[in-house]
A and B are shown apart, each in its own frame.
Chain A
Amino acid sequence: MSNIEHNMSITGDAPKSISTTQKIASAVGLSGLLILVLAIANFNFPNKSLFLSLSLGMISLGTVIFSVDAYWGKHAGIKNDGVWFKSLSGKGFWAWILGIGLTLFYVVLYWFPQYLGLNSEGANTGIIALFDPLSKFINGGPASQWFVYGSLYTVAIWIFGFKFILKYRHNRYEIIRTCSVMFFQLGFAFLIPEILARLNKPYFAPATIWPLNYDLFAGYRLDSFLSAGNLGVAMLIFGIVSIFVITPILTYKYGKRWYCSWVCGCGGLAETAGDPFRQLSDKSQKAWKIERWVIHSVLVFVTVMTIAVVYSYLGENSDRFWLTKDVFLWGSAGFLTLLFALIIIFKRDQIQKDAKYGAIGYLVVILAIIGINYFSGNWNIFFFPAYKLREWYGFLIGAAFSGVIGVGFYPIFGSRVWCRFGCPMAAILGMQQKLFSKFRITTNGGQCISCGNCSAYCEMGIDVRAYAQKGQNIVRSSCVGCGICSAVCPRGVLKLENGKTEGRINENEVLLGNDVDLLDLLNQKSN
């Protein structure tokens, strides 16, 4: 049998190849990227403004052309054809190449910025020098590795945000949400801190809230706030109010999504540049068990670290503040104890047994550490000097986890690894979402067909289908409210809603549509 003539044809093949236009667009974008790579390799571009504009312009143009070709002119609707066939989005060869590339970039960025051209003495070279003109234009000074990173990060959220909006243009929730993350990244995370620097004010990114911003209460930051007059004090107060007042109110009304998928920069990158990888998250029950331990451990770590840092700061500056270190320490211990006690008393029905044990265990550990160190008269509270603890947190969590693993591993573990397993801010918001919030994903009676699109495309690895097929609302602490489960559902089963707290968590014996006598059933159950 001869098949030769058929081999010339591309029909019948799985949709994994890209069109000619998309190839050209990729070439344009990669050329822009090449300029950056050359800069890293210390190629000294003559006119830096021109080449930087050229580079970022070509990267953006390539992405825009690619997106327009991929989505515009086609019917608006779900565009997941071939996701698992494509090498990049289906954990194939190119996924590994990209993952390794991103990981290396993060390693260099965090620990070897000299290879990017940051020179302790003298002017910048390399890629950092390439960004000098832009940095001078915005903040008045030369660039740093963080300026380069922030600029690229913002560009990524904007160009891939554009792509995302085109892809989901039939879904206004997705459009508005994406505009929001683009706005907050550019304004709150990038421009405001840079402009503050230009005005010689303390560094402050208003939307990066403690504990995600684990450094907020570090000694050097406190000094910089307190030496900047009213503005500095206002920033510090805003930082404290953000986590203790604004966050609980907004999370109560809208769920943690108001932050995680509308404001946060990490979420912003995951939702835009990370969108092609959302389906890679692990949905197994095992992953969920690991997730709960790891993320809450990070939260404990950051809490202990922050208490230690503030405690030692107050100790070193005891003459300057009315708040003594002891009052602060025992105040914190009291606050945590009270918080835990209230949750366990009033929400005991909603907390699983292992979660209760975990919570109590962690509280005991925290209080024990405080007690042992305090009563032993150990100046190094928590066994280590506070600054060491902060350094270790910064290295392990701030850099290695959120950066290297969180973004570097996008193409392998999915786009929300950090948000799911690591982010202490997400842990706090999640606890609140689970226990005190009006937010839930409502399932639509008996309409679920268990197809699994919702679970497959949940970036947080929630097995959405497990709830939907039982007609149960989804109330999960990890849900960031991206809305994609609802978007990909072919039968209109899922809807993100803020509603009354009664009946938010529902249990059905038999799904809607089947009129067996439920009263009999219930009677029998209670007998």
Chain B
Amino acid sequence: MEHIVILGNGISGITAARHIRKRSDKKITVISAESDYFFSRTALMYVYMGHMKWDHLKPYEDWFWEKNRIDLKNGWVQQIDFSEKTLHFKNGDKLNYDKLILATGSIPNKFGWEGEDLNGVQGLVSKQDLELLEKNTKNCKKAVIIGGGLIGVELAEMLRTRNIEVTMLVREKAFWHSVLPFEDANMISEHIKSNGVDLRTVTELDKIIPDEHGKVSSIITKTGEQIDCQLVGLCAGVRPNIDFLKDSDLAINKGILVNSYLETNIPDVYAIGDCAEQQEAIDQRKPVEAVWYTGRMMGETLALTLTGEKSQYNPGNWFNSAKFFDIEYQTYGWVWPRPKENEQHFHWQHEDNTKAITISFDKKTKLFLGINSFGIRMRHEVLDRWLTEEREINYVLANLKQANFDPEFYARHEAKIFEGFKKNLQNA
């Protein structure tokens, strides 16, 4: 029986394992040193905030794996011998594979800051990071978060539930402005501030200063300002977790290079999820996408290939979601932080500053390109269809009601949005 070994039990690896099992009888082994069982990484914050316990993070009960004959192995792979098709573990164990799926995920970015390895300086990606955070915030009064991305705002929310003062350093002129158009980013920035976070825009970290015990005691910004703190959260993005593969025959760049079939340069070795880097650009996507959904899709696709249906990784229209404190965010299609040459943005914002939408469309053809929605839930299926059908902006706005996914009895805003758009056009 063919033995498929999956390195990494995150969403990508586990999705691959589950779908391979659904479609075949192959022997499957999933390896992880992080946790015995698959858990939802995106929900780590809720354990720290007391919304859930660790066990709630596991989407499948523990008996699920044995019942579905998916072997789980807790171990740290130190080296891979691709010619012998053998994994070498830290404790000396060996494991042979017929097909190997690398799904090793991400680790936090570090940019060589002075003091970045001090006690009390950490990222938030893994189960171990969560445990470390629990330790690091034991008697913590003040924290500084470096970077304004999705993990950064989650960490800020987490720390605020424990009355820890939070200062957040953001390079752009508003939170996540590298992704969100300014008006969106600005609204979210104000919301973050209203939750008691000291958000410093256009501010970068220079170095981290230790106390006499080698623990962080303050940071200094590039403008020379010193901020006392007992915790530094490194949230300036993540990068593929591939350092242990550096001196092998595997072709790597930022991540493990794969073609559109998720194949690496070595036969029978595949890479999916955060650690994979597409050699050829897909649509307008980044070559490395550290997103839950894309990890899952790669797992689904590769499972097809490995069970006899060779499939290209072909993610459809881009979508994503997040939550910034109390404001939910969904996006469908492409809305760039600054409109490209042929593009125009239409922005509508509710007077309570917790709801907004930004729609991107083509200036000439009026083609609908994408939507950011804040505080209003949108129906994935409808927006996906409109993007595929290449609808025009007028059609989208006139039918926006169909795309609404808010709970029953919620106030509706489509009329106001439509009106705002008409006014906007007259002014333009």
Q: Other than A176-B409, A495-B408, give 18 A-B pairs with Cβ distance below 8 A.
A: A11-B165, A12-B140, A12-B163, A81-B161, A82-B50, A84-B51, A171-B407, A447-B330, A449-B40, A451-B46, A453-B51, A469-B59, A491-B330, A492-B328, A495-B406, A512-B380, A513-B380, A514-B300
- Complex formed: what's the CA distance from A248 to B142 in Å? 58
Shortest distance in angstroms between A400's beta carbon and chain B's nearest beta carbon? 30
> Is the CB of A520 closer than 8 A to any CB of chain B?
yes
Nearest residue (CB) in A for B381 is A445
> Is the CB of B53 closer than 8 A to any CB of chain A?
yes
Could you give 13 example pairs across A and B, Cβ below 8 Å? A11-B141, A15-B162, A16-B50, A75-B195, A83-B50, A85-B50, A442-B405, A445-B384, A455-B56, A456-B52, A511-B296, A512-B380, A513-B315
The 9 closest A-B pairs by CB, nearest first: A445-B380, A77-B326, A6-B139, A492-B377, A451-B43, A515-B316, A82-B50, A172-B409, A514-B297
- Complex formed: what's the CA distance from A456 to B161 in Å? 19
> Is the CB of A38 closer than 8 A to any CB of chain B?
no
Nearest residue (CB) in A for B303 is A510
Chain B residues, Cβ within 8 Å of A455: 56
Report A1-15 CB contacts with B as 1/0, cut-off 8 Å: 101001101111111
Shortest distance in angstroms between B201's beta carbon and chain A's nearest beta carbon? 21
> Which residue, of A83, A85, A450, A524, has the highest number of chain B Cβ atoms within 10 A?
A450
> Is the CB of A57 closer than 8 A to any CB of chain B?
no
Q: Which residues of A144-187 have CB atoms within 8 Å of chain B's CB atoms?
A: 170-173, 176
Chain B residues, Cβ within 8 Å of A445: 319, 379-381, 384
- Complex formed: what's the CA distance from A369 to B293 in Å? 56
Of the listed stretches A206-214, A236-244, A482-490, name the one at the interface; the rest are far from the partner chain: A482-490
Nearest residue (CB) in A for B323 is A490
Q: Which residues of A471-507 have CB atoms within 8 Å of chain B's CB atoms?
A: 483, 486-487, 490-492, 495-497
CB pair B56–A492 under 8 Å, yes or no, is: no
Give how many B residues have a beta carbon under 8 Å from the other chain's beta carbons: 63
Instruction: Using known A-B contacts A85-B50, A513-B316, determine if residue A1 contacts B330 with beta carbons closer than 8 Å.
Output: no
Instruction: Using known A-B contacts A172-B409, A490-B328, determine if residue A516 contacts B311 with beta carbons closer than 8 Å.
Output: yes
Chain B residues, Cβ within 8 Å of A81: 49-51, 161
Chain A residues, Cβ within 8 Å of B43: 449-453
> Is the CB of A444 closer than 8 A to any CB of chain B?
yes
CB pair A492–B162 under 8 Å, yes or no, is: no
CB pair A521–B59 under 8 Å, yes or no, is: no
> Is the CB of B410 closer than 8 A to any CB of chain A?
yes
- Complex formed: what's the CA distance from A85 to B163 in Å? 15
Shortest distance in angstroms between A411's beta carbon and chain B's nearest beta carbon? 16
- Complex formed: what's the CA distance from A492 to B57 in Å? 18
CB pair A516–B304 under 8 Å, yes or no, is: yes
From A13, A16, A495, A513, B297 is in contact (CB under 8 Å) with A513
- Complex formed: what's the CA distance from A285 to B62 in Å? 11
> Is the CB of A323 closer than 8 A to any CB of chain B?
no
- Complex formed: what's the CA distance from A513 to B294 in Å? 9
> Is the CB of B126 closer than 8 A to any CB of chain A?
no
CB pair A80–B139 under 8 Å, yes or no, is: no
From B137, B140, B316, B325, A514 is in contact (CB under 8 Å) with B316
- Complex formed: what's the CA distance from A78 to B51 in Å? 10
> Is the CB of A465 closer than 8 A to any CB of chain B?
yes
> Is the CB of B336 closer than 8 A to any CB of chain A?
no
User: Is chain B's interface secondary structure helix, strand, loop, or mixed overall?
Assistant: loop
> Is the CB of B209 closer than 8 A to any CB of chain A?
no
Chain B residues, Cβ within 8 Å of A11: 139-141, 162-165
Chain A residues, Cβ within 8 Å of B78: none
Chain A residues, Cβ within 8 Å of B328: 490-492
- Complex formed: what's the CA distance from A511 to B19 in Å? 12
From A171, A453, A465, A490, B59 is in contact (CB under 8 Å) with A465
> Is the CB of B84 closer than 8 A to any CB of chain A?
no
Shortest distance in angstroms between B156's beta carbon and chain A's nearest beta carbon? 14
Chain B residues, Cβ within 8 Å of A85: 50
- Complex formed: what's the CA distance from A300 to B50 in Å? 41
- Complex formed: what's the CA distance from A355 to B129 in Å? 45
Chain A residues, Cβ within 8 Å of B378: 492
Shortest distance in angstroms between A107's beta carbon and chain B's nearest beta carbon? 31
Chain B residues, Cβ within 8 Å of A511: 296-297, 300
Shortest distance in angstroms between A487's beta carbon and chain B's nearest beta carbon? 7
Report B331-360 CB contacts with A as 1/0, cut-off 8 Å: 000000000000000000000000000000
CB pair A80–B42 under 8 Å, yes or no, is: no
> Is the CB of B292 closer than 8 A to any CB of chain A?
yes
- Complex formed: what's the CA distance from A16 to B49 in Å? 10
> Is the CB of A358 closer than 8 A to any CB of chain B?
no
CB pair B325–A77 under 8 Å, yes or no, is: yes
Chain B residues, Cβ within 8 Å of A16: 50
Chain B residues, Cβ within 8 Å of A78: 51, 326
Chain A residues, Cβ within 8 Å of B226: none
Shortest distance in angstroms between A462's beta carbon and chain B's nearest beta carbon? 14
> Is the CB of A108 closer than 8 A to any CB of chain B?
no
Shortest distance in angstroms between B365's beta carbon and chain A's nearest beta carbon? 23
User: Which residues of B come within 8 Å of A, CB atoms?
Assistant: 11, 40, 42-43, 46, 49-53, 56-59, 61, 137-141, 161-165, 194-195, 213, 292-293, 296-297, 300-301, 304, 309, 311-312, 314-317, 319, 321-323, 325-326, 328, 330, 377-381, 384, 405-411
CB pair A80–B50 under 8 Å, yes or no, is: yes
CB pair B59–A466 under 8 Å, yes or no, is: yes
- Complex formed: what's the CA distance from A451 to B321 in Å? 13
Nearest residue (CB) in B for A171 is B407
Shortest distance in angstroms between B398's beta carbon and chain A's nearest beta carbon? 22
> Is the CB of A284 closer than 8 A to any CB of chain B?
yes
Chain A residues, Cβ within 8 Å of B137: 12
CB pair B314–A514 under 8 Å, yes or no, is: yes
Chain A residues, Cβ within 8 Å of B309: 520-521, 524
Chain A residues, Cβ within 8 Å of B384: 445, 512-513
> Is the CB of A371 closer than 8 A to any CB of chain B?
no
Chain A residues, Cβ within 8 Å of B164: 11-12
Nearest residue (CB) in A for B165 is A11
- Complex formed: what's the CA distance from A516 to B11 in Å? 18
Chain A residues, Cβ within 8 Å of B325: 75, 77
> Is the CB of A76 closer than 8 A to any CB of chain B?
yes
> Is the CB of A446 closer than 8 A to any CB of chain B?
yes
CB pair B49–A80 under 8 Å, yes or no, is: yes
> Is the CB of A319 closer than 8 A to any CB of chain B?
no
Shortest distance in angstroms between B309's beta carbon and chain A's nearest beta carbon? 6
Nearest residue (CB) in A for B159 is A12
Chain B residues, Cβ within 8 Å of A492: 321, 328, 330, 377-378, 405
From B50, B59, B296, B407, A452 is in contact (CB under 8 Å) with B59
Chain B residues, Cβ within 8 Å of A444: 377, 379-381, 405
CB pair B379–A453 under 8 Å, yes or no, is: no
Chain A residues, Cβ within 8 Å of B323: 490-491
> Is the CB of A121 closer than 8 A to any CB of chain B?
no
Shortest distance in angstroms between B26's beta carbon and chain A's nearest beta carbon? 17
> Is the CB of A349 closer than 8 A to any CB of chain B?
no
Shortest distance in angstroms between A368's beta carbon and chain B's nearest beta carbon? 36
> Is the CB of A354 closer than 8 A to any CB of chain B?
no
> Which residue, of B56, B163, B165, B213, has the highest number of chain A Cβ atoms within 10 A?
B56
Shortest distance in angstroms between A340's beta carbon and chain B's nearest beta carbon? 32
CB pair A451–B296 under 8 Å, yes or no, is: no
Shortest distance in angstroms between B136's beta carbon and chain A's nearest beta carbon? 9
Shortest distance in angstroms between B332's beta carbon and chain A's nearest beta carbon? 9
Nearest residue (CB) in B for A90 is B50
CB pair B319–A10 under 8 Å, yes or no, is: no
From A82, A83, A450, A452, B11 is in contact (CB under 8 Å) with A450
Shortest distance in angstroms between A212's beta carbon and chain B's nearest beta carbon? 25
- Complex formed: what's the CA distance from A479 to B120 in Å? 45
Nearest residue (CB) in A for B139 is A6
CB pair A13–B162 under 8 Å, yes or no, is: yes
- Complex formed: what's the CA distance from A172 to B407 in Å? 8
CB pair A173–B140 under 8 Å, yes or no, is: no
Chain A residues, Cβ within 8 Å of B40: 449-452
Nearest residue (CB) in A for B316 is A515
Report A431-451 CB contacts with B as 1/0, cut-off 8 Å: 000000000001011110111
